[in-house]
Amino acid sequence: MTETSRRGLIVINTGPGKGKTTAALGTALRAAGNGMRVLILQFLKGSWHYGELDAVAALDQALAQTGGPPAGQNIVIRQMGRGFVKVGGAETDPEDLRLVEQAWQDAAEAILSGEWDLVVLDEINYAIGYKMLDAEKVAETLRQKPEMVHVILTGRNAHPTLVELADTVTEMREVKHAYQKGILAQRGIEF
């Protein structure tokens, strides 16, 4: 049977190829252009300044000025970590754990509030993969989400429980990456 009714989707961008975060940002752009309210929470990220931070802030302002909700309520992006996490058992820095906990609390609250039409949980799959966040806890919140809310989760090695729960799952396959030739991350393409 085909489900044709309008409903919020759970989308996962995973796999080893490049494009997981950029695809999520593209969808966020698309949703915001449709007058939807978009919240992007970036797990683990924090030390780099990504171009999307400024682009999203500018878009949010512009949407507010052209009749959308007030600034800060159209499209918002927040870095919730500090980048470069050390992981593995006792190696995991308690501060990084605390930041992931906080990011998850904010994420769960945002999803359940129904105030946002799309919530992007960028790099959350890494936090789960590193055992900093329990996949079942995430699944439980996704099961309870308001019907119309869309959620996108990114990062390699998506947890099987979340893959099972999701409606749309894309695995990015690496054909080649400039990094392998020793080419460093390029402005505008990687950050």
Contact set with ligand ATP (CB under 6 A): 16-22, 123, 154, 156, 172, 174, 177, 179, 185, 190
CB of 19 to Mg ion, least distance (A): 9
The rounded Cα 157 to chain-centroid distance in angstroms is 14
Question: Closest CB to ligand ATP among 66 and 186?
Answer: 186
Cα separation, 155 vs 163, in Å, equals 12
Q: What's the burial of 72, exposed, middle or buried (CB within 10 Å: 0-12/13-18/19+)?
A: exposed
Instruction: Enumerate binding residues for Mg ion (CB under 5 A).
Output: 20-21
* 151, two tokens: 């959620």
Closest CB to ligand ATP among residues 57, 172: 172
Residues 6+ apart with CB under 8 A from 139: 161, 162, 165
Contact partner at residue 18 from Mg ion, ligand ATP, none, CB < 5 to 8 Å by partner kind: ligand ATP
Cβ at position 180, least distance to Mg ion in Å? 18
Task: Identify the helix (H) or strand (E) that includes residue 153.
Answer: strand 150-154
Instruction: Report the residue number, 117 or 123, with the smaller CB distance to ligand ATP.
Output: 123
78 CB-near residues (< 8 Å, 6+ apart): 39, 40, 41, 42, 106
Exposure on the CB side of residue 38, measured as CA atoms within 13 A: 25
Q: Which is nearer to ligand ATP, 98 or 177 (CB)?
A: 177
CB of 129 to Mg ion, least distance (A): 13
106 binds, among Mg ion, ligand ATP, none (CB under 5 to 8 A by kind): none
Cβ 178 to Mg ion, closest distance in Å? Answer: 16
Nearer to ligand ATP, 84 or 179 (CB): 179
The least CB distance from residue 148 to ligand ATP, in Å, is: 26
